[in-house]
Chain A
Amino acid sequence: MAIELIEGSLAIAHGAALCRPGVISAYPITPQTHIVEDLAKMVADGQLKTEFVNTESEFGAASVVLGALAGGSRAYTATTSQGLALMLEVLYNCAGMRLPLVMCCANRSLSAPLSIWSDQQDAMLMRDSGFIMGFAEDAQEALDLHIMGYKIAEDERVQLPYMVNVDGFLITHTFEPVNIPDQKLVDEYLGSYKPFQVLDPANPITMGCFTEPAYHMDVRYQMHKANLESTKVIEEVAASFEKKFGRPSGGLIRNYKLDDADTVVVAMGSITGLVEEAVDTLRGKGQKVGLLKIKTLRPFPTDKVREALSGKKHVVVMDRAMSAGYGEILGSEIKAALYGTPNPPAIDSFIYGLGGRDIHEDEIIGMINRPNPGTHRSEWVGLRPDLLEE
């Protein structure tokens, strides 16, 4: 194992390459990140043996990896923002066909207005797709989630695609220390891909076929059930990964100073590092604050969330995306998870950091200490009043 200071995108490319996908397909220009550029370079330099397919669009890239998986090959793609939006039709098919794709998305805002900066709005397009959705805190976890992603997706109990969500720019363009595992360890851990059904002319089958009302709902139910029940596999894989590679990473949730906390911040993605700073600052002043990191959004870890937040006085949920016409997204799911539990905490929710809007520790402390806890729903933090005047 070697620790190197590298760009997040390169760490992700290493993560993908270590899993030895037989096919990588991507649309090579905007919107894209250095991830596929780095992978293409590895292929050109002879460091990575894979079929690298440049396509005419993100729709094409998603179609190529879907076909590759149906043909029995491990496959990989990476995208972001509008590219993900263009892939969407194929990706819903990928989940419905139970194909264990691993895809990285550098989370960035959706147009309009056109923005290339970071938020998690694009990820929310995938929330109801059937993909398992992990969220990385830093470049290390982004790399690790690729390895864990294949392990989870290809598990015979799961057979669903896995989406590695990584905050665009904040992780993909930042240089930081990353431990790159040895190929041998990854090979031992992951093994080769064993598809449970393959398109084969000698033994014809149909995938993603037409279903009449008599069949459709039941197939969808099975997919949903497999997604829900993958919580067990995700936990197993987080444990086996930690044992094999020697560091905690991924999983369903992670806690920071949560046990004795009265107030708990709930957040996901790269912001959790800064929230830890805010927690430490407030603890230094005698305030019992903790952090619950959502590492997996789908399947939603309802039981874990209940367990972590039961008995707490106050919960502050941070959303880096919003549902137009409603507001909070993660906030709403946390509230739903706690509905019906005895003495639920007061819950506030905040929307922050859309389209790359910078956020600092004092703003997080401001959310935690807002007067009248429990009365703030989908409050937007960091808006510019000068732009909003009539």
Chain B
Amino acid sequence: MKEIRIHGRGGQGCVTASEILAVAAFLDGQNSQAFPSFGSERKGAPIQAFARISDKKIRTRAQILHPDFLIIQDPTLIGVVDLLFGLKEDGLVIVNTAKKPEELGLKTKAKVITVPALEIAVEEIGRPIPNTVMIGAFAGATGLIKIESVEKAVKERFPGELGEKNAKACRKAYNAAKEAK
């Protein structure tokens, strides 16, 4: 079983991102689960969302304490909250930023890669919403879910033109993450 924690701020679509991730894994034929951090979320406050992917039925509903993967939607959280808490040493951190990993000051033995998801979102979707884009990056960086499934999941979630644009942005982030890893 692989466990994923997503960090962002209220209003940035962390929960939607975790849902897209789980749906994509499900479309791949895997078992998956997604859930929010069960809080009273407020716009702008740091929040988390979680996802699990497994080849077996997922029976636990406990919080994820030792994630294999971190997705950081909002780089301004670095230094503000303990993003690396419990991360496995052989884990992977994917950060939405145009900076290089070594510029971020993340003290971890885990591998860190960066993807300019915000810039991709503005370019392709026309809005600064990197949440779904980062799931494309996750697919590229990990190979755990197929990019075709991510595209399908975002098109189902956002019907019409918005879904098409999101899918295109996801593909772009997927390619960027593949190069970065």
Residues of chain A touching chain B, judged by Cβ–Cβ distance below 8 Å, are 5, 7, 116-118, 167, 169-171, 173-177, 270-271, 273-274, 276-277, 356, 358-361
* Segment of B30-38, B98-106, B134-142 in the binding face: B30-38
Asked if B59 and A273 make an inter-chain contact with CB atoms under 8 angstroms apart, the answer reads: yes
26 A-B contacts (beta carbon < 8 Å): A5-B22, A5-B23, A5-B32, A118-B38, A173-B36, A174-B33, A174-B34, A175-B18, A175-B32, A175-B35, A176-B32, A177-B31, A271-B61, A273-B58, A273-B60, A273-B61, A274-B61, A274-B62, A277-B59, A277-B60, A356-B38, A358-B62, A358-B63, A360-B62, A360-B65, A361-B62
Asked if B40 and A116 make an inter-chain contact with CB atoms under 8 angstroms apart, the answer reads: yes
- Within the complex, what minimum Cβ distance (angstroms) separates B19 from chain A? 5
Asked if A173 and B61 make an inter-chain contact with CB atoms under 8 angstroms apart, the answer reads: no
Contacts of A117 in B (CB 8 A): 38
Contacts A273-B60, A277-B60, A360-B65 aside, 5 further interface pairs with beta carbons under 8 A come to: A5-B26, A116-B40, A174-B34, A176-B32, A274-B61
Asked if B33 and A175 make an inter-chain contact with CB atoms under 8 angstroms apart, the answer reads: yes
- Within the complex, what minimum Cβ distance (angstroms) separates B144 from chain A? 16
Which size bracket describes the interface of B in this complex?
A: 20 to 34
Asked if A170 and B60 make an inter-chain contact with CB atoms under 8 angstroms apart, the answer reads: no
Describe B's contact surface by its main secondary structure: mixed
Residues of chain B touching chain A, judged by Cβ–Cβ distance below 8 Å, are 18-19, 22-23, 26, 31-36, 38, 40, 58-63, 65
Contacts of A361 in B (CB 8 A): 60, 62
Contacts of A118 in B (CB 8 A): 38
Asked if B26 and A177 make an inter-chain contact with CB atoms under 8 angstroms apart, the answer reads: yes
- Within the complex, what minimum Cβ distance (angstroms) separates A333 from chain B? 24
Q: How far, in whole Å, are A342 and B36 apart by their CA atoms in the complex? A: 47
Which of A170, A173, A176, A271 is close to B58, meaning CB atoms less than 8 Å apart?
A: A176
Write the chain B residue with the least CB distance to A360: B62
Asked if A276 and B26 make an inter-chain contact with CB atoms under 8 angstroms apart, the answer reads: no
Q: How far, in whole Å, are A276 and B62 apart by their CA atoms in the complex? A: 13
Contacts of B22 in A (CB 8 A): 5, 175
Contacts of A274 in B (CB 8 A): 59-62
Q: How far, in whole Å, are A170 and B35 apart by their CA atoms in the complex? A: 8
Asked if A170 and B61 make an inter-chain contact with CB atoms under 8 angstroms apart, the answer reads: yes
- The 4 tightest CB contacts between A and B, nearest first, are A273-B59, A5-B26, A175-B34, A174-B35
Which of B23, B32, B35, B65 is close to A173, meaning CB atoms less than 8 Å apart?
A: B35
Q: How far, in whole Å, are A232 and B38 apart by their CA atoms in the complex? A: 38
Q: How far, in whole Å, are A361 and B35 apart by their CA atoms in the complex? A: 19
Write the chain A residue with the least CB distance to B31: A177
Write the chain A residue with the least CB distance to B18: A175
Contacts of B35 in A (CB 8 A): 169, 173-175
- Within the complex, what minimum Cβ distance (angstroms) separates A340 from chain B? 35
Contacts of B32 in A (CB 8 A): 5, 175-177
Which of A5, A7, A174, A177 is close to B61, meaning CB atoms less than 8 Å apart?
A: A174
Asked if B33 and A176 make an inter-chain contact with CB atoms under 8 angstroms apart, the answer reads: yes
Q: How far, in whole Å, are A309 and B22 apart by their CA atoms in the complex? A: 39
Which of A7, A116, A359 is close to B62, meaning CB atoms less than 8 Å apart?
A: A359
- Within the complex, what minimum Cβ distance (angstroms) separates A160 from chain B? 30
Write the chain B residue with the least CB distance to A363: B62
Asked if A270 and B19 make an inter-chain contact with CB atoms under 8 angstroms apart, the answer reads: no
Contacts of B63 in A (CB 8 A): 358
Contacts of B19 in A (CB 8 A): 7, 175
- Within the complex, what minimum Cβ distance (angstroms) separates B6 from chain A? 13
- Within the complex, what minimum Cβ distance (angstroms) separates A168 from chain B? 9
Contacts of A273 in B (CB 8 A): 58-61
Contacts of B59 in A (CB 8 A): 273-274, 276-277
Q: How far, in whole Å, are A274 and B22 apart by their CA atoms in the complex? A: 20
Contacts of A5 in B (CB 8 A): 22-23, 26, 32
Contacts of A360 in B (CB 8 A): 62, 65
Asked if A175 and B23 make an inter-chain contact with CB atoms under 8 angstroms apart, the answer reads: yes
Contacts of A271 in B (CB 8 A): 61
Write the chain A residue with the least CB distance to B26: A5
- Within the complex, what minimum Cβ distance (angstroms) separates A137 from chain B? 9
Q: How far, in whole Å, are A358 and B86 apart by their CA atoms in the complex? A: 15
